[in-house]
Chains A and B, each alone.
Chain A
Amino acid sequence: MPQQGQHIVQRYGEDLRRLRSFMEEMGGLVEHQLSLILTAFTETDAQAISQVIHHDKAIDALENEVETQAIRLLALHGPMAADLREIVANIPMAGTLERIGDYARSIARRLHQMEQPIPPHDRLALSEIGRMVLEHLHRVMDALEHQDATAAHSVWQADHRVDEYCATMTHNYLERMTQQPRALRFYISLLFIIRNLERIGDHITDIAERIIFIATGTLPPPTARPHGHAAQSIATEQEASTP
């Protein structure tokens, strides 16, 4: 029965599009979270912070949807080749997006609990890193939609700039902590925020790797990712010099 065959193909296409739509929606929510955090960096904005935390539930729900939908597609349609890679890769990618959302929420919490206002210069530094991370997330989500390995690769390579920036800021805060022991708690919060931003950057490279896998069928070699060597040496030097 050719009609029924066509119907099944249509259903398959629709299911796959729905899966993509869930991923897109998740990406949109996480991007919005980061953009709200950027707002909270530049101006104290309690509403933005509560909205970040609010989005978290929707993201969790979507992660489940993606998983269910992917399993359904695998079970009912037995996809092959690029489609199979895409559907399988969507499950961990949804998990990664959810993790990014968690980091965003934890940054929001820290900002909310800050006992003293962040000095203007630090606000600028934080929003610079945040902007960089958000831009990478935008680019990686676009790459996912177009299954564009080249675009994904460029994001993957650009992450070391985030690492370098974060290492520089860590260095800076550690120095200031030794000078102002009274503000230790404050600087520890800032350090956590920086650390979370850096982790978000790393998770974005994870997604980029999976996009490369979907599009080409191979993963980039695990050692190939350029790390911020210069910045890393600062971090290790700092660790070595502190008793």
Chain B
Amino acid sequence: MKSALKRAGYKQVHKQMNDVHLQFISKVAFFIILLFAFNLFFAGHYTPGGGFVGGLLTSAAIVLLLIAFDVKTLKKMLPIRFRLLIASGLFLALGVPTGLMFFGYPFFTHEFTEITLPILGEIGLHSATPFDLGVFLTVCGSTLLIIILVGGADD
């Protein structure tokens, strides 16, 4: 795009095309997608959803921001190091089943109870949730890492 404009005779081309519509809509849509991703994440286990899909959707939301803005702006918006995201995700995914082994259960044993909270009512507490959170973080981190690696190749 930039080089085509230059060839067409535009002396000065802005570094970023000014896409007001895309930028505005993506700012709003980001939160909607994120909300849906969390919904999917918590819906997992008994109904379709879970860490992998949730993580993919979250990274899709972030990629939308990446398309609307650029890598630098994104880094300013989300000052996260993806390596740490992946590492903590893997640690959660491994640590939870290993930790359960210390209580005498075999590896990956699934434990759950149900508690009653005010307002929210009955809620199931599963030991699979921290594990799934680990999957969520790992998927999110590695997808973003790869997309930024591929997408940021031009600069």
Partners in one complex: no
Residues of B within 8 A of A (CB): none
Residues of A within 8 A of B (CB): none
